[in-house]
Amino acid sequence: SAVISQKPSRDICQRGTSLTIQCQVDSQVTMMFWYRQQPGQSLTLIATANQGSEATYESGFVIDKFPISRPNLTFSTLTVSNMSPEDSSIYLCSARQGISNTEAFFGQGTRLTVV
């Protein structure tokens, strides 16, 4: 199984600023994903991070607000731009090693509070 490390684990940010979250996997993975977990709610997929190309965003999420990078097969970043209190959430990185029938692994998440 892959081990996923996220940094920072938590942060308190001022509205209008941006925060970049890093996700490091200890082995090469095929797919990487970013999820948001708003307080008391389930996980919602923000985007699939594609290695060497633009991320694929889900409905309701846009690149200008959540730019994503994936420079190689083990690393990805998510930036939350121009933050507002509504962006206060846990952001989770996920990875999957194979193409089919393999489970996804999750990082411990980044707890973001925007004040």
Partner 1 sequence: GDSVTQMEGPVTLSEEAFLTINCTYTATGYPSLFWYVQYPGEGLQLLLKATKADDKGSNKGFEATYRKETTSFHLEKGSVQVSDSAVYFCALRISSSNTGKLIFGQGTTLQVKP
Identity of the residue, 16 or 54, whose beta carbon is nearer to partner 1 in the bound complex = 54
Residue (21 or 107) nearer to partner 1, CB: 107
Residue 40 burial (C-beta neighbours within 10 Å; 0-12, 13-18, 19+): exposed
Contact map string, positions 15 to 54, toward partner 1, x by CB under 8 A: ----------------x-x-------xxxxx--x------
In the complex, the smallest distance separating the C-beta of residue 39 from partner 1, rounded to whole angstroms, is 12
**Start-to-end Cα distance in the chain:** 37
Scanning residues 48 to 67, which ones bind partner 1 (CB under 8 A)? 48, 56
CA separation (Å) from 57 to 1, 11, 47, 54, 102? 26, 24, 4, 9, 22
Q: What angle do CA 59, 10, 86 make, to 5 degrees?
A: 40
**Site residues, partner 1 (CB under 8 A):** 4, 31, 33, 41-45, 48, 56, 92, 94, 96, 99-109
